[in-house]
Amino acid sequence: MKLLEEKIRQDGKAVNEHILKVDSFINHQVDPALMQDMGREIADHFRSRGITKVATIESSGISPALMTAFALEVPMVILKKQPSKILNQDLYQTVVTSFTKETNYELTLSKKYITAEDHVLLVDDFLANGEAATAAIRLIRMSHATIAGLGVLIEKSFQPGREKLKSQGIEVYALARIGKMAENYIEFID
């Protein structure tokens, strides 16, 4: 998506070969018009797949997932990083290793929101190593739902996430694919 690539070039910042800051328009301050366009683009790509739910991991995936769910006219389900005091029964849970935060956390899904009848599209802001997406897929599969694919805003294609997901039979659709990064340098893949 050229619009997203232009926004990354204009307002993003490659800190080093692994970290891209997009906090001014995606994951701290959100550009709602851009988010709506990106959600519509992901929805259009997966529209014919019979999706019944869109799922994401809190918190940076919420905005693009909500816009995608809105465009598909289906509910959005948030996979929680921390179990809540009131949401503590009938849960699916799995452990995720976060590259960004250098820690493990428990990902949680209430059994009542995704069932075996659902065909779920996973949406997130970034795909890098694929750990979070793999854990989310594992969690959704615990409910016996099927996975339509992963829609992601930004993929760091030089990291193993796409291959990890493809080896599990998951289609990855990325709006912007970065082939190489260094301090103040970003190279996109068409």
pLDDT in tens, 90-145: 888 888 877 666 778 888 999 999 999 999 999 999 999 999 999 999 999 999 99
The CATH number given to 32-176 is: 3.40.50.2020
pLDDT tens readout for residues 51-69: 999 999 988 999 999 999 9
Query: What is the rounded average pLDDT of the residues 172-186?
Result: 97
pLDDT score of 165 more than 80: yes
Q: Categorize the per-residue pLDDT at 83 as very low, low, confident or very high, splitting at 50, 70 and 90.
A: low
- Show the tokens assigned to 81: 């990083």
Nearest to residue 74, comparing CAs of 35, 32, 43?
43
pLDDT of residue 90: 84
pLDDT value for 101: 64
Angle at 133 between CA 34 and CA 106, to 5 degrees: 115
The C-alpha atoms of residue 86 and residue 152 are separated, in whole angstroms, by 30
